[in-house]
Amino acid sequence: MTAGPGARLLRSPTSSGRATFLELFFDLAFVVALTRVSQRFAELSDDTGWALVAGFGRTLLLFLALWLIWSHTAWITSRYEPEQAVIQAVVVGTMFAGLVLAVTLPRGMEERALPFAVAYLSVMVVRPLVVAVALRGHPRRLVPFRLAAWAVASAPLWLAGALGPDRIRLPLWAAALAVDYLAWALGWPLPWLGASAVNRWRIAGMHLADRHQQMILIALGESILVIGMVFGGADYSAERAAAFAVAFTTSALLWRLYFYRAGLLLTEALDRAGMPGKLGTASERTHLLIVLSVLVTGVGYEMVIDHPYGPPRPSWLLFVVGGPVLFLLARMRLEYEIFGRVARSLLIGTVVLLLFTPALFHWTPMVALSVVAVVLAVVALLDARRSRRRPLEVSAPPVGRETSGDRDFEA
Q: Helix or strand or coil: residue 164? A: coil
Q: What is the model's pTM? A: 0.94
Cβ neighbour number for residue 290 with a 10 Å cutoff: 25
Asked whether residue 1 carries a pLDDT value surpassing 50, the answer given is no
For residue 137, the model assigns a pLDDT of 81
Asked whether residue 403 carries a pLDDT value surpassing 80, the answer given is no
For residue 111, the model assigns a pLDDT of 94
Q: What is the pLDDT of residues 227-250, one digit of tens each?
A: 999 998 868 899 999 999 999 999
Closest CA to 184 of 237, 143, 152: 143
For residue 4, the model assigns a pLDDT of 62
For residue 224, the model assigns a pLDDT of 95
87-106 in b/e form (b: 16+ CB < 10 A) is bbebbeebbebbbbbbbbbb
Within 122-237, where are the H helices? 127-135, 142-163, 166-186, 205-233
108-122, 239-253, 258-272: least confident range: 258-272
Q: What is the pLDDT of residues 48-77, one digit of tens each?
A: 889 899 999 999 999 999 999 999 999 999
Every domain of the chain with CATH number 1.20.1410 lies at: 205-387
Is the backbone of residue 236 left (phi > 0), alpha (psi -120 to 50) or beta? Answer: beta
Query: What's the full length of the chain, in residues?
Result: 411
Distance CA 36, CA 58 (A): 13
Amino acid letter, 272: R
- CATH number, domain 205-387: 1.20.1410
Give the Å distances, CA to CA, from 273 to 132, 263, 396, 399: 28, 15, 8, 7
pLDDT average, residue stretch 344-349 = 95
